[in-house]
């Protein structure tokens, strides 16, 4: 199984809503990542989890809250988002965080109204 799955595929939320994005992998990877991608731009790293511990936070606003319940799951909790947070949110995983290929999920298309 070489797949990273993400749910939901699409999400529309208001600025006062609380929602969560979910990511799952069953490849035994010990590093997981959240990226944000705006239209016609490259993916931008948000968070890195290594062995279920947060190892990198790229100065992401606190309205984005990551969580890694176990080595296969990664969540991104969203609260009080702004319209400019609308983007494609990508999850990725890799065998470890050291020099290995990252495999991406299909993404969640988020629209904040």
Give the binding range for other proteins (CB under 8 A) out of 11-19, 64-72, 76-84, 87-95: 87-95
Under the binding rule (CB under 8 A), the answer on residue 53 touching other proteins is: no
- Smallest Cα–Cα separation from 31: which of 60, 74, 88, 89? 74
- Smallest Cα–Cα separation from 92: which of 76, 112, 113? 76
Under the binding rule (CB under 8 A), the answer on residue 99 touching other proteins is: yes
Under the binding rule (CB under 8 A), the answer on residue 22 touching other proteins is: no
Integer Cα distance of 32 and 54 in angstroms = 9
CA atoms within 13 A on the CB side of 72: 9
One residue of 68, 74, 85, 94 binding other proteins per CB under 8 A: 94
* Interface with other proteins (CB under 8 A): 4, 6, 31, 33, 40-45, 48, 50, 55-56, 88, 90, 92, 94, 97-99, 101-107, 109
């Amino acid at each position: 199984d070489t797949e990273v799955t993400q749910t939901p595929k699409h999400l529309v939320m208001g600025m006062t809503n609380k929602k969560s994005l979910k990511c799952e992998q069953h490849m035994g990877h010990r590093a997981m990542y959240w990226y944000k991608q705006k239209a016609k731009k490259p993916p931008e790293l948000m968070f890195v989890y290594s062995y279920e511990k947060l190892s990198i936070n790229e100065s992401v606003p606190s309205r984005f809250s990551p969580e890694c319940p176990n080595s296969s799951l990664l969540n991104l909790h969203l609260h009080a988002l702004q319209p400019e947070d609308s983007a494609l949110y990508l999850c990725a995983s890799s065998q470890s965080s050291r020099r290995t290929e990252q495999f991406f999920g299909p993404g969640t298309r988020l629209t904040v109204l």
